[in-house]
Amino acid sequence: MTSANELVVPPLDDILSTLRVVSIPMKVKFRGVTYRESALIKGPAGWGEFAPFLEYQPAEASAWLKGALEAAWQGFPEPKRHEIPLNATVPAVGAHEVERVLSRYEGSIREVKVKVAEKGQTLSDDCARVAKVRELLPDAGIKVDANMGWDLPQAVESLTHLSEYDLLYAEQPVATIEGLAQVRAELREKGNSLLIAADESVRKAEDPLKVAQAKAADVLIIKAAPLGGIRSALRIVEKSGLPCVISSALETSIGISAGAALAASLPELPFGCGLGTVSLLDGDVTENSLVARDGMLPVRTVEPSQELLTRFSASDARVRWWRERIEHNYAHLVINN
C-alpha cells in the first residue's frame, strides 16, 4: 500500500501475474465497437481495469494504466455520498431503436445523453433521435454528445436545431479548444445560451486545465482512467473551478466502480453522470453488475466472478497483445512518473 496521494508503481511482474483479459460483446455498436476488450489487474487493494481504446498510443494510454494501478494498489478515497445520479446513454441508433435502448435501464430515467454527429448520418438523423427521446421522456434532462464530429459551421447549425428539444448541454461539438470557444461565442451571439461541455479537450490535452483557462466550456466531462486515476482527476476538477460530470470509457463494472468512486468524492454533482454504460454490454465480469436503479448508481467495490472471467476470456493471441501493450505502457509510465 502507498500514501494517500501518490502511487508507487508496482513491479511489472506483479501486474502481469494477475492479468485477465476479457472480450465482451456489445448490445449495440458504440464508437464503432461491437466487442469491448479490457485488461483486468488485481492488486492488494482490489481490482483495476485497463481499457484504453485500441487506437490509443502509450503517451495517452499509460495514464489509463496508472488509473488501473491506483484502483488495484491504493484503492478509492473516502466517499462523500453512497449513490450517484446517472444519465442513460443512447448511441447513434435510428429513432425507431431508441425505445429499445432505453428499456435496458431499470426504473425511472432522469437524464439521457444522446450521441450525435455520427459519420454517415445527417442532422435529420440526430434530430429524429433526440426528438424520440424527448417524446418518450418528456420530463427528462437531455444532453447531446458529438465526440468532435462537427466542424464549426456544422456545430452551430446543428446545435441551433437541437436546442429546440430543451438540452442541458452539448458535449464536445468540435475538436479543438479554440473551436469550442468559438461555437460557444457564436451561439451566444444568436441568443442561444446552451451550455458547452468539454470531454476530449480535457482528457486528450497535454494540459487538461487549458479548456477552463480559455473559458471554452461551461462544464467539464471527467473520466478517471484517461486522467491517471481518481486522485489526479480530483486535482484537475478542483483547479478548473467548473462544474463536472463523471463519465465512463465503456468499462466493465470494475472500471465503473472507479468512476463511481470519483463521483462520490466530488463536493457537488449538478448533472447526472455517464456511468450507466454497463447496460450497453451483453455481459459483465460480475454477477452483481454495477447498474443504476431509478437513475441512481450505488458506490461500491466490485469482485469479478471467476466463471464470468472464463466465459468472456479473450483469445490467447489477444491476451498476448494486451500483455505487450501493458509492458509498453508500463515503460512509458515509469519513465514519466
Is 223 designated active site? yes
Are 91 and 194 part of one and the same domain?
Answer: yes
Residues in CB range of 112: below 8 A, 6 or more apart: 87, 88, 89, 90, 102, 133, 137, 140, 141, 142, 143
Are 117 and 98 part of one and the same domain?
Answer: yes
Are 53 and 156 part of one and the same domain?
Answer: no
Cβ–Cβ under 8 Å, residues 134 and 112? no
How far CA 336 is from CA of 60, 204, 329, 330, 333, in Å, comes to 12, 16, 11, 10, 5
**Furthest CA-CA distance within the chain:** 58
pLDDT at 5: 63
Domain assignment of residue 234, yes or no: yes
Domain assignment of residue 235, yes or no: yes
Residues in CB range of 334: below 8 A, 6 or more apart: 9
Tell whether residue 268 is among the known ligand binding residues.
no
Tell whether residue 171 is among the known ligand binding residues.
yes
Domain assignment of residue 7, yes or no: no
Are 46 and 148 part of one and the same domain?
Answer: no
Domain assignment of residue 5, yes or no: no
Q: Cα 297 from chain centroid?
A: 15
pLDDT at 22: 98
Q: Phi and psi of 259, rounded to 5°?
A: -60, -40
Are 105 and 125 part of one and the same domain?
Answer: yes
Domain assignment of residue 130, yes or no: yes
Domain assignment of residue 3, yes or no: no
Over residues 201-240, the pLDDT tens digits come to 887 767 888 999 999 999 999 999 999 999 999 999 999 9
Domain assignment of residue 170, yes or no: yes
Domain harbouring 58, CATH code: 3.30.390.10
Are 169 and 32 part of one and the same domain?
Answer: no
- Of 42, 66, 143, 223, the catalytic one is 223
* Domain count across the chain: 2
Is 215 designated active site? no
Q: Record the cell numbers describing residue 116, joined without a space.
A: 450525435
Are 32 and 139 part of one and the same domain?
Answer: no
Tell whether residue 135 is among the known ligand binding residues.
no
Are 161 and 180 part of one and the same domain?
Answer: yes
Domain harbouring 111, CATH code: 3.20.20.120
pLDDT at 294: 86
Are 129 and 90 part of one and the same domain?
Answer: yes
Residue-number span of the structural domain to which 314 is assigned: 12-75+307-336
pLDDT at 204: 76
- Global pTM? 0.89
Domain assignment of residue 254, yes or no: yes
Residues in CB range of 316: below 8 A, 6 or more apart: none
Are 146 and 212 part of one and the same domain?
Answer: yes
Question: pLDDT means per 10 residues in the chain (337 residues)?
Answer: 67 98 92 91 98 92 97 96 94 96 88 96 98 97 97 98 98 97 97 96 81 93 94 94 94 98 96 92 96 92 97 98 98 88
The C-alpha atoms of residue 48 and residue 72 are separated, in whole angstroms, by 5
Are 190 and 313 part of one and the same domain?
Answer: no
Are 267 and 164 part of one and the same domain?
Answer: yes
- Of 42, 66, 115, 143, the catalytic one is 115
